[in-house]
Structure 1
Amino acid sequence: MPDALWTGYRFREVDADGWSTFWRLDPRGQATGLHDWHGRADRPGHRLWSRAATPAGVRASWRTTATEVRLELRAALDIYTKLAPVDFLVNGELYRRHELEIGEQQLVVDLPGDDVDLTIWLPQAGAIAVRTTSFTGDAIPSPPTGPRWLTYGSSITQCTGAYGPSETWPALVARRHGWDLTAMGFSGECHLDPIAARTIRDTPARLISLCLGINIYGGATFSGRTLPGQVESFLHTVRDGHPHTPIVLITPLVAPEHEGKPNEVGLTLDDVRACIELGARSLADPDLQLIDGRTILTPEEAKALYADDLHPGPDGYRLIADRLAPLLTLPL
């Protein structure tokens, strides 16, 4: 299974039995517990690597007249999450959503047998490895041709609660625009880590979006003194590899049950939004756009569409995509 078959990841690890894990951060040189299936590591913040091994946004496409496709896959629960399904799209529309079981399995999907475009989206939740993809009939790999969009964020960008991997808000926006998506949503782990900044710096992209702040608020990661500088430093690293690439920075979406409540370092969500804006504006960067996350969903919409007091449900992610799609654009 050649690397070119799949897209949306940073590094592919292949074990001795031929199973491929698609890492959205490059674990080489990091103390990540690379060969530990659950991503445990001997360093603080190891959960980031468990999240990085989840193939959110990873997909492959073919032009095919086959009557059947078989995908050999291994699935396990990573820490704190569930298993998401695999989506099979034909000519851009959802054709089959295949639920997974824990363990090794072979997914078999009947295809129309006509000349169609097939895209397989791997799960956005769970510890997933892939071994082989085979067809009954002809299939020619069809790599992405659109501009690459890279988006970084928290669980609200990973979208474990979406209906399926092709219906996360980044997937919906990318599909609508015809973009080549790299989705760097890490549930609970969007803390401005240097490895994330370096990955964005080193990944070619025509557009970069960053949804920052909700994990920083929940984890009390930075204080009002340190957060603006951390945002500034993160953006400087990104700019080292993308001097003029448009960057869209989105502050936390509304969270009605948390608004106005100080966290353990005394910051409210509005304080976090203000610190992020201060850090961003310190660059005086004409190619940097700020979006106030409170404008994406209203408090009333959040109360109706959130699955809990923080995370949108499946229809909430669809609405986020509808709201962000016209705001995320490429320059002419």
Structure 2
Amino acid sequence: MKSPANPENESQRMTSLRESGILDAGEPARFERLTRLARRLFTVPIAMVSLVDDESLVFKSCDGLRYASMPRDISFCGHVILSETPLIVNNALEDDRFADNPLVVGEPHIRFYAGYPLRLPDGAMVGSFCLLDRETRTFSAEDELLLRDLASIVEDEFQSISEATTDSLTGLFNRRGFEHLANFAIASAHRRAEPLTLGWIDLDKFKQINDRYGHSEGDIALREMARLLVKTFRDTDLLVRHGGDEFGILFSDTDESGAWIAMQHLQEEANAFNLSSGKPWKLAFSWGVIEFNHGDITDLPGWLRAADKRMYAMKQQHQNHRA
């Protein structure tokens, strides 16, 4: 058996998958209707929409089997994401990659497999729309086109999920997207015994920008703040516009002191922007950072309140200094 290799861009691919929100979001019935349709169209006993996570497959729909997940290292779908073309296996017993695979020699006794790669809106290859049969069979060019059309519908659903978790003004994650991903990050950090730190930001005197220069300039200020966040922090850090002029950064595998240094760098970037922007207003903000402590902090709302409290303490200092 040949276990699927990791794509060269595995780290970036996994970041895109987790930040997309599709691991947890999306109406299951929409995917289930498509796999039921695929079973009828192709006369196969099994049709699935799978996502390739770091160690396992996550099924958005698994029609014909009762799997909730499957180890990635024995999966056929793990091979699909290595190419932009569909993977067609007419007889798994005659394919060196799969002949002694547990899914071939044991349940569900796969003989035929056809998987079309699924992409996110940013192009990341994240899974497969696949058909399985316990009998060998052929797959025509017309069949491939039909499977591609079904995969395109799934990708449209991915697009909808992505839009539902993205702030339209800044392109950062919105509150809904953040909550999905933050809960996932907390569980993952606990499992991996890695630090996870939240940075919380509130713009200073943002109301004055809106009142004095108009809401269009206020929108520009929000977009510029988002641009600085993207420029300053890593691709693996989760960036969110939580609402109004509140922003957050979820620093993966970073303790509180490391996050503090990163926030100071953001302050330097904002200072540089203010010197060169030519705007009559300045980007100024207050912030706080707090590491997630699995003993003292029990949930996401409590973590947000603690971060907001630290941010507010800095805002009070800024106001007192100006006074």
- TM-score bin, normalised by smaller chain: under 0.3
Question: Higher helix fraction: Structure 1 or Structure 2?
Answer: 2
Question: Higher strand fraction: Structure 1 or Structure 2?
Answer: 1
Instruction: Provide the TM-score with structure 2 as the length reference.
Output: 0.26
Instruction: Provide the TM-score with structure 1 as the length reference.
Output: 0.26
